[in-house]
Amino acid sequence: MMTFVLLLAFFGERQHRPLPGERRPQVVAPGDPTQAAPAPRARPFRRPPDMIIAGYAVRTPPPGFWISMASQLFALTVAALFAARMLARPIQRLGQAAAELGADLNRPPIAETGTAEARQAARVFNQMQQRIRQSVEERGRFLAAVSHDLRTPLTRMKLRVERLQDDAARDKLREDIAEMAAMLNATLSYLRDEASAEAWQMMDVTALLESMVEDALDAGEDVTVAGHARPLLTRPVALRRCLSNLLQNALRYGHSARITICDTDALLTIDIADAGPGIPEDQMEAVFEPFVRLENSRNRSTGGVGLGLAIAREAASQCGGTLTLKNVPGGLLARLTLQRAG
């Protein structure tokens, strides 16, 4: 619209102006014999206006007009793109920092540069990161205090139980104390995993799995491992906790474990299959929630407090991977998928 107005302002006019060589018509009063109309004479051909729009006569643009207009339009486009990029750069930097914050709370703060709005957004983001880090540190100190304060009375209870003369009562109290200790350890481990910020390191995943399998075989368990994996950039403690919980879950409910390693350029997949009863499809995601146990596992023969799979998924997420469950013929399959960097 603006271009159209400029064109009209440059080429258009309300009243017709005589072309070069064109004479204005004379006005002759009716009945005045002294002003006779001049005899018509030949006149060179003049090109009429190209078009008439809203009462304006638009003439042919002068030479070089379109080249000038194209140059100005190109310059305006380049300037607009440059301005849009300058405005979008702080937003992109903020989005990247937000994505990295979930994986590393100790990442460097954002540089507070750019426009006033960009500096304010970076400043608020840095303050938020600092508050989250302080909250995580306070949570760690709280967990350490709770762990000490709760384990101390459990230890005293164990000592007092040993003094009981009734063997049946002593055995029952032992089981209760052991269950309370297991629940306490699992809960603190789950909360500690959520608050941890472990550094990334190269790790030999094959050696880790072979070591876990050897320990299980020494304990009389039925475990096998197949496949090989190259070293992986991961969080070693979190990965060990994830695989350990998956293996224990398979042995507790399926009484066996078949570990299969599949390594590609982009992904490392670790499958742990058991020979247990599986999980109903409508509860496949519910078992990842903390303290959720299926009805057929609520007994002391299998144990567990409903945190094993929740801890495993949280640990897998810390390693940048995903954990899924699927019923297969003969049991349940837990699949851990880890991304390879670059």
| DSSP per-residue string spanning 195-234 | H--PPPEEE-HHHHHHHHHHHHHHTT--EEEE-----EEE
Tens digit of each residue's pLDDT (9 = 90 or more) over 119-162: 888 888 889 888 888 887 787 777 777 777 777 888 888 888 88
Residue 327: pLDDT above 80?
yes
Residue 5: pLDDT above 50?
no
Mean pLDDT along residues 37-54: 51
Whole-angstrom distance, CA of residue 215 vs CA of residue 218: 5
* Segment (H or E) for 83: helix 65-101
Cβ contact 321:246 at 8 Å? no
Residue 149 pLDDT: 78
Mean pLDDT along residues 244-265: 93
Q: Write the DSSP symbol of residue 299.
A: S
More confident residue, 135 or 297: 135
Tens digit of each residue's pLDDT (9 = 90 or more) over 56-108: 555 666 777 778 888 888 888 888 888 777 777 778 888 888 877 766 777 78
Residue 263 pLDDT: 95
Residue 13 pLDDT: 46
Tens digit of each residue's pLDDT (9 = 90 or more) over 55-69: 555 566 677 777 888
Residues 6+ apart with CB under 8 A from 236: 198, 201, 203, 208
Percentage of the chain lying above the pLDDT 70 cut: 75
Whole-model pTM above 0.95? no
Residue 95 pLDDT: 80
Residue 80 pLDDT: 85
Cβ contact 14:56 at 8 Å? yes
Q: Rounded mean pLDDT of the chain?
A: 78
Residue 25 pLDDT: 54
Residue 280: pLDDT above 80?
yes
Residue 215 pLDDT: 92
Domains of the chain by start residue, with CATH: 116-194 (1.10.287.130), 201-339 (3.30.565.10)
| Lowest-pLDDT choice from 184-188, 254-258, 286-290, 302-306 | 302-306
Cβ contact 201:236 at 8 Å? yes
